[in-house]
Chain A
Amino acid sequence: MKTKFKYLTKQSLKKKMQTKWFKWVNIVLVILFIFLANIDKVISLFGGDYEGEVMVYVEDEVGSFDSFTSLFLENQKAMQPDRTYQFLATNENAEVMKEKLEENKEAIWVRLLFDETNYLKAEILSYNDVGTVTKGILTTSINSLKNMLAVTQSGLSEEEILALTMPPTITSMTTNPEVENEENKNFIATVASFIVMLPCFFLILLLVQMVGAEINDEKTTRSMEIIISNVSPQAHFLSKICASTLFVLLQGVLLLCYGGIALVSRLLFSGGFTIHEEVISGAKNILEMIQTTGILKTLGQGLPFFILLFVSSFILYAIVAGVLASMTTSIEDFQQLQTPMMLVIMVGYYLALMATEFEGAIFIKAMAYVPMISFLLAPVLFLLGQMTMFELFISSVISILFTWVVFHYGLRIYKVGILNYSSSKLWRKLFHSLKKN
């Protein structure tokens, strides 16, 4: 039986991997990863309206042309670095300006007007809509200019004005040494969980589809009867779970490799050393942050349980998918049945994202013990310091035990389901099968 089990597992893996589609999909994935990592370069390559210089005519009644342009450029650097603007002071009348705006449809006419009570009022005119980001930059710059004018007219000295406009120094401290660098830790935990959760979601989706489609195929072609007459349903079921889980883990490793390739491509395509250095310094900052927050230590402590949670949950999803597939007689029925399962993962995903915001929420913590969700939620809560090692251990044990129970009872349904081709009284038959050993 062991030989047959090994053969079935090998065959199932072979069926998934020795296909031209597997190769094609992975080639497409590499290309997509590289594309996503260099999406800004791709956009720049094709050019577009954003490349043109935008002319900004400034009618200045308040004598702050230089201040306005420097404020604008400062804001633009942060909010819209790829765009270039040229400024020109103007005193032309409205008719002439309207003509100019019609000639150069991208141009903007900004009127900085004196206001007795509010120091400054402004008008922005353009032929087309200037766009949300540009409008934002203009508004922020005009507001800053107004503050500047108000402060200047207040009669304060230069030192006083400087002191007034300087942001205050805020030092945040906690007396509990364990919560040192909590903010950075939260940031790292959120980023890490986001990076881990998305591939997990994708891989589980793949896993569920793989198991379901294969079992469904064998069932609908009636070859299941021949197979099950030679190997036990248990061995057959396990072989599908093992093969699909192995496949998904392997695909996960491949995705990591593609991520690496995409990163290398980013470094290669970025051309100059400027971005190269930026990337390196960015990576250094993250590494420093990881070091100072002690998140690596926490990660190391929790890693065995994370692995247990991940593996048991992957197996759990495979079991549930297998049982559902055995109950259905067509792939369409299976696809409908698996939808709620996908939504369960979404629940875990959103709760994990909300964990930072709702710190210490009892509901989120309780959900971290619920199998099928715990593998997404418990590691995040542990990294955020909202779950202790013991609690993480309990969550892992619950997940493993639940997986075993589902396998034990699921197998009973599976045995009946794979030989059942009728949908009449299906639930009755399946509940009845649960009672049998």
Chain B
Amino acid sequence: MLQVKHITKYYEQVKAVDDLSFEVQDGEIFGLLGVNGAGKTTTFRMIIGLLEPTKGEVLLDGRPIDYQVTDYIGFLTEERSLLTKLTVKEQILYYGILKGMKEKDILEKLDMWLERFGITEYKTRKIKELSKGNQQKIQFISAVIHEPKLLILDEPFTGLDPLNVELFMNVIREFKEKGSSIIFSSHRMEHVEMFCEKLVILVKGKSVLKGELKQIKKEYRKKNIIVDGDIAVQDIKKIDGVLSVENQNGIWVIKIDDEKRVDDVFQIVKKGKHITKFEVEDPSLNEIFLSKVGESYENEV
């Protein structure tokens, strides 16, 4: 289990991370979200021991992060972190040995992973000769070759086609089932929604939203009402608490500021014609994210 306890990080006078706390249980996928410059990289760097927090501490299975503990952490960085002049085999051996593995074990596992990702023929090829997607696969293998207890995935699906995204997702789920703690970061909210049970949203280094995804959605007061049919749009817009009414491919999406408004909207909708659908939905994570990040910036202004 990973415990991040009240970590704060200053770069000189600039506060990059501000009193951040969260826990990632074994077998759990945790989302760490934020816009660019929100403090995600600094947080990752503190988790893998590259940076020391100015305040607070990071523990993995109760132990502070040191060079013994980092052997149990796998990190897939957002940018390619491969030595492109090396061959695939040399690269994986290099990172594997730095993780404390034996050469024989690394080579056995490498063969298994290359087969799994369908790239066995690239074993002796130089990394710079591979396509972006295949480089991402090698980067992923280098992060998981030692079967880490904590796996940090920063934008893992970059450069992958939908088939390979699916393949990666399955592998990530397998690690979850095996009991690894996984931190997942992505700007693609649909990926986060598919994966993460818990998450934290960072704005300027500070957590603005934290908790279980289901709970967050449930507690989020704004809802969406989906209606299929002919309705009096202008009448609905006049209702207090209706934020917007949009037609998306023939389906009406009515955004309301509170679940209490559902009944008022329903009264108007039922007067309409050809109504085949009336459904109250939780907002998407993307909407929550935009709303929370936007609020934080507005508050600051």
**Apart from A222-B79, A230-B95, what 11 extra A-B contacts exist at CB < 8 Å?**
A1-B67, A4-B97, A11-B94, A221-B81, A228-B50, A229-B50, A230-B67, A230-B98, A230-B99, A231-B98, A419-B45
Q: Interface size class for chain A?
A: 20 to 34
Within 8 A of B (CB), among A413-437: 419, 428-429, 432
Within 8 A of A (CB), among B34-82: 45, 48-51, 67, 70-71, 73, 75, 77, 79-82
B108 at the interface (CB under 8 A from A): no
Which residues does B use to contact A, with CB under 8 Å?
12, 45, 48-51, 67, 70-71, 73, 75, 77, 79-85, 94-95, 97-100, 142
User: What are the 8 A-B residue pairs with the smallest beta carbon separation, nearest first?
Assistant: A230-B98, A222-B81, A229-B48, A223-B81, A222-B79, A223-B83, A226-B81, A229-B70
Q: In the complex, A429 Cα to B11 Cα: how many Å?
A: 9
Within 8 A of B (CB), among A193-240: 217-218, 221-232
- CB-CB under 8 A from B12, the residues of chain A are 428-429, 432
- What are 20 residue pairs bridging A and B, where the CB atoms are less than 8 Å apart in the complex? A4-B100, A221-B82, A221-B83, A222-B77, A223-B82, A224-B81, A225-B48, A225-B75, A225-B77, A226-B77, A226-B81, A229-B50, A229-B70, A230-B67, A230-B71, A232-B67, A419-B45, A419-B50, A419-B51, A428-B12
Whether A218 and B50, one on each chain, are in contact in the complex, defined by CB atoms closer than 8 angstroms, is no
A420's nearest neighbour on chain B, judged by CB, is B11
Q: In the complex, A432 Cα to B14 Cα: how many Å?
A: 13
A230's nearest neighbour on chain B, judged by CB, is B98
Q: In the complex, A11 Cα to B85 Cα: how many Å?
A: 13
Whether A7 and B97, one on each chain, are in contact in the complex, defined by CB atoms closer than 8 angstroms, is yes
B93's nearest neighbour on chain A, judged by CB, is A11
Q: How far is the CB of B105 from chain A (nearest CB, A)?
A: 15
Which one of A4, A7, A218, A232 lies within 8 Å of B83 (CB-CB)? A218
Whether B67 and A231, one on each chain, are in contact in the complex, defined by CB atoms closer than 8 angstroms, is yes
Which residues does A use to contact B, with CB under 8 Å?
1, 4, 7-8, 11, 217-218, 221-232, 419, 428-429, 432
- CB-CB under 8 A from A1, the residues of chain B are 67
- CB-CB under 8 A from B80, the residues of chain A are 221-222
- CB-CB under 8 A from A217, the residues of chain B are 83, 85
A428's nearest neighbour on chain B, judged by CB, is B12
Q: How far is the CB of B284 from chain A (nearest CB, A)?
A: 32
Q: In the complex, A30 Cα to B22 Cα: how many Å?
A: 63
- CB-CB under 8 A from A428, the residues of chain B are 12
Q: How far is the CB of A219 from chain B (nearest CB, A)?
A: 11
Q: How far is the CB of B113 from chain A (nearest CB, A)?
A: 17
Q: How far is the CB of B14 from chain A (nearest CB, A)?
A: 10
- CB-CB under 8 A from B51, the residues of chain A are 419
Among A1, A230, A432, residue most surrounded by chain B Cβ atoms (within 10 Å): A230
Whether A229 and B77, one on each chain, are in contact in the complex, defined by CB atoms closer than 8 angstroms, is no
- CB-CB under 8 A from B75, the residues of chain A are 225-226, 229
Q: In the complex, A7 Cα to B94 Cα: how many Å?
A: 9
Whether B49 and A229, one on each chain, are in contact in the complex, defined by CB atoms closer than 8 angstroms, is yes
Q: How far is the CB of A426 from chain B (nearest CB, A)?
A: 13
A425's nearest neighbour on chain B, judged by CB, is B12
Q: In the complex, A78 Cα to B237 Cα: how many Å?
A: 110
Q: In the complex, A228 Cα to B49 Cα: how many Å?
A: 9
A1's nearest neighbour on chain B, judged by CB, is B67
Q: In the complex, A353 Cα to B71 Cα: how many Å?
A: 54
Among A8, A226, A428, residue most surrounded by chain B Cβ atoms (within 10 Å): A226
- CB-CB under 8 A from A225, the residues of chain B are 45, 48, 50, 75, 77, 81
Whether A230 and B77, one on each chain, are in contact in the complex, defined by CB atoms closer than 8 angstroms, is no
